[in-house]
Amino acid sequence: MASPSEYLDALIRELNKLPGIGSKSAARAAFHLLEMSDANVKQLLNTIIALKENVLECSLCGGISDTPVCSICTDPSRQQQTLCVIEDKKALITIEKTGTYKGIYHVLGGVISPLDGIGPDDIRFPQLVERCKSESIKEVIMATNPTIEGDATVLYSLKVLKPLGIRVMRLARGLPVGADIDFTDVATISKSLLERSEVL
Amino acid sequence: MHLKKLTVKNFRNYYNNTFEFCNSYNFITGANGTGKSNILEAVSVLSNIKSFRNASDRAMIKQYESYYYINGVVAEDTFENVFEAAFQNKDKIKKKYKINNSKVDRLIDYYGKFITVNLSPTDTDLIIGEPEKKRRYIDSVISKIDKEYFKKICEYKRILNNRNTILKSGIVHLKNIQVWNELLAEKSSYIIKKREKFLNDILDLFANNYQKISNENDSVSIKYRPSVTGETTADILNQIENNQQRDKRYKTTTLGPHRDSYSIKYRGVDCSLYASNGQLRSLSIALKLAEKNIVEENLNKKAVILIDDIFSELDRLRRHNLIRLMKNQNQVLFTVPTVEDLSISDLADSTILNLDK
């Protein structure tokens, strides 16, 4: 399997460690890098190094930021009373893309999962409670994934945050936009029926 | 539906063999150790993913080989489906299922497509065996006719594992455990209702089948024994919460559908106390045939019946009744040492597959 170049093999091994990159994709990218001009390769390297050196974790929401507090948390046009709670930093970008959410965020960095040894104190849950106490938050939208552990996290938040007088919501579940009922599983359809909404 | 052709490679004692079966009775005969039951086992793996003998996939691979492969051509009304199951134990462990040459990714999409009901010597466990075996049995049957149930059982197990992990750690925060109590209660309520309904549905069929096999009018009944009861999720949650101190002491969840069972009564008395071997055999056959009835009714297909060497405990009358009960109904694959042992007069339109040659 080894190629005539140890350097190439080493690069393939490194690229292979990235998510979604199998050995074939890694080899393809490695050969491409070999063909690229020195200037372009240097630019790529510098970009990666700059990313690692400059991107911080926002001290408020835990999302990515180039400054100690991120641009969303400091944006005065954002509604400070609504807080959207998400599992990881990437989910923030996904929700931002919709352009429909005008509140602020809180990144948990995981969900409660005793099987993996993760309790509420192992994720940014204490910080969430702290924010709910110290900031003017009225509504928390739990946007964790609809898994068993995601649901457990929602229930736990409800238990802790509701006594603080905070309205705890979670994302609606049901048919994806553009879906076909015939190809949707029974669980999703029954959720859609339960959480049906009035046509306005 | 009926199995027309079965090909097995590196499975148990078979290297590469193909067997053909007729639409009605097929007798697989041969001396002990010739591989009669192995053929039924291959069919059960193809149909139910698991061996009815509860053997591991590795154990079913022929000695010194690294994989097994099973292929079955199943005829249904006017068309044929090809089912394939393969297991590989080399470098990486791989298990693969295909229907008509296309790979099936989720077992849930495969399970219940080729339906078989198997009657084997270990079935008496379903009458007087451990609760775990009984639970696994009803779960497997309900899952066959209700995919949603299958999913809920998986979710339940996951919740249970999470809750038990917290209990095992010894550090149980009230709010933390409450979350898992609620999730557990919600799934429990669903599972209990489904099991209750299933055992109710099966009750009459079971009693009826028993009478047909034994010619007795004695009453037999099957009753669900849930470890938590309650009409609503709130009722169940209440019981789980009341039991929490005990759970903490034992460091595991001591109440819930994972502790359920059912009991079978014969003449109003629990079978584990008085029934004879022959009676237990008849009861287990009646239960399996009730399973067949209910699966066929729900899936609107005929099951293939696999009968593994259960005649030795039955008297002549009961053997006769059993064979008559399935005649012209289903395709049946029997294993017997010799056909003469059966003392069946009418063997017309049956196929005999002799492994002694």
Q: What is the CATH number of the domain that holds A154?
A: 3.40.1360.10
Please state the ipTM of this predicted complex.
Answer: 0.74
Which distant-in-sequence residues (6+ apart) come within 8 Å of A170 by Cβ? Answer: A141, A142, A143, A144, A154
Nearest CA in chain B to A112: B176
- The CATH architecture of the domain made up of B123-299 is Up-down Bundle (1.20)
- What range does the domain containing A136 cover? 77-170
Cβ(B42)–Cβ(B48) below 8 Å = no
* Predicted pLDDT at B295: 94
Q: Is B148 in CB contact (< 8 Å) with chain A?
A: yes
**Residues of chain A where predicted confidence (pLDDT) is lower than 70:** 1-2
CA distances to B167, B168, B175 from B250, in Å: 8, 9, 19
Task: In chain B, list all ranges with CATH 1.20.1050.90.
Answer: 123-299
Question: Would you give the DSSP letter of residue B12?
Answer: T
Q: What DSSP string describes A81-113?
A: TEEEEESSHHHHHHHHHH----SEEEE-SS--B
pLDDT > 70: percent of chain B: 98
- Rounded Cα–Cα distance for residues B14 and B30 (Å): 15
For residue B175, is pLDDT > 60? Answer: yes
pLDDT tens-place string over residues B185-225: 999 999 999 999 999 999 999 999 999 998 888 889 999 99
Q: Between chains, do A186 and B158 touch, taking CB under 8 Å as contact? A: no
Task: In chain B, list all ranges with CATH 3.40.50.300.
Answer: 1-115+301-357
Query: Please, which residues bridge with residue B352 across strands?
Result: B27
- Rounded Cα–Cα distance for residues B338 and A169 (Å): 69
Q: Between chains, do B176 and A119 touch, taking CB under 8 Å as contact? A: yes
Nearest to A86 by CA among A43, A31, A30, A142: A142
Query: What is chain B's mean pLDDT, rounded?
Result: 90
Token pair recorded at residue B38: 């192995």
Chain A residues lying within 8 Å of B145, measured CB to CB: none
- The CATH architecture of the domain made up of B1-115+301-357 is 3-Layer(aba) Sandwich (3.40)
Nearest CA in chain A to B154: A148
- A155 inside domain: yes
Cβ(A84)–Cβ(A96) below 8 Å = no
Q: How confident is the model at residue B345 (pLDDT cuts 50, 70, 90)?
A: low
| B179 → closest Cβ in A115, A155, A187 | A155
Element (H, E) at B53: none
* Predicted pLDDT at A2: 66
Which distant-in-sequence residues (6+ apart) come within 8 Å of A168 by Cβ? Answer: A139, A140, A142, A154, A157, A158, A161, A162
Query: Please, which residues bridge with residue B222 across strands?
Result: B264
